[in-house]
Structure 1
Amino acid sequence: MSEQSSRSSLLASGTVIAALISGVTALITALLPWFLPDRSQPVAPVEPAAIAATRDVPATHGAPNFTIGAWTITSSVDDEGNDYAGSTLRFLSQHDLGDRIEVTGFFEWRLQQQTLGREQVTATYDPATRQLYIEGKYTDNPEILAPGSFSAEVSADGRQLLNGRWGNVPGERVGVLGTWEARR
């Protein structure tokens, strides 16, 4: 008989615990909506400040936002016949300087699908002429790459760099001249 009363008290204790858990669950279920945001109003996603800053660059003076996307070099042949198509140009920052736009970024140079290295650049865009002037600052592979001086016309829709030319930067190792175009 003592065995049966032990079981009964265990069952009674289990019932009390189950009732307490059910009560706490009901209370949480009733109060939780008061602590959650109102889902009837859409909540805008939060972006890291660095990403939001590059996306919110105003298109002043008719200038496109150069920092959106990467520019793929579609045609890039130097005077020795080397084709650098497939290389990319990525701008990381853009600043309005009043009568012109300044951007900074890098070229990721490739030759025959082999990566040669990166060239850090600064550029100036003139909205009046739609000309982009890029100057190489340094490369991460100076044995193969020399900083260059580049120019191109930005298409009216801001998605292509046309009629591009490149040359040498004064004071740097002499590179081979060439032409280029890009799109994004």
Structure 2
Amino acid sequence: MWACGSATRNLAPEKLNALSTTIAFVGLPGSGKSTIGRQLARRLDVRFFDSDFVIERRIGCSIREFFEREGEAAFRDIEQEVVGELMQNGVCVLSTGGGVVLRQMNRDNLLQRCQTVYLHSAPEEVFRRLRHDQNRPLLQVADPLARLYELYAARDSLYRECAHFVVETGRPSVSTLVNMILMQLELAGVVPAHG
């Protein structure tokens, strides 16, 4: 659904101001949403928001602690509120939590109010990245790889439902992925073509 572009490019500052929408990232936990989103925001010279970070500031503790204390439903309520607010911040790049798509309202907002990029990662790939991460509440189980397969089976179609672009993360470097995403955004007219 996209083409490869590997040359490092920086868009001219006068062209960056033409960006008129939020670019949001969805995908499994550990698919690279924050890392890639942060670099894309730098390249576009726009603000970057990580919804999980904003949520943690609001609740005053880690998401893992909140999950243990209040449960997933309470977390999803706060997540929906925060993501909705972040989409109203004007032009920015937004990294969402892996479960944001579980709520229909979030999927509708991602589709209608953003240009949404689904960073598609195989469960094995995500497991390699996250196997030592103790801060992912949904992966604190006896068999995290099996849990990732469950999350993928439950969420892949939901990510696709709200995505304007699907990007296979595979093995490319972060900078290559950012270039590929920029190319797709340019081809779609979301950001001005580099020229």
| TM band (smaller chain) | under 0.3
**TM-score, structure 2 normalization:** 0.22
Give the TM-score normalised by the residue count of structure 1.
0.22
Choose between structure 1 and 2: higher strand proportion. Answer: 1
Q: Which has the higher helix share?
A: 2
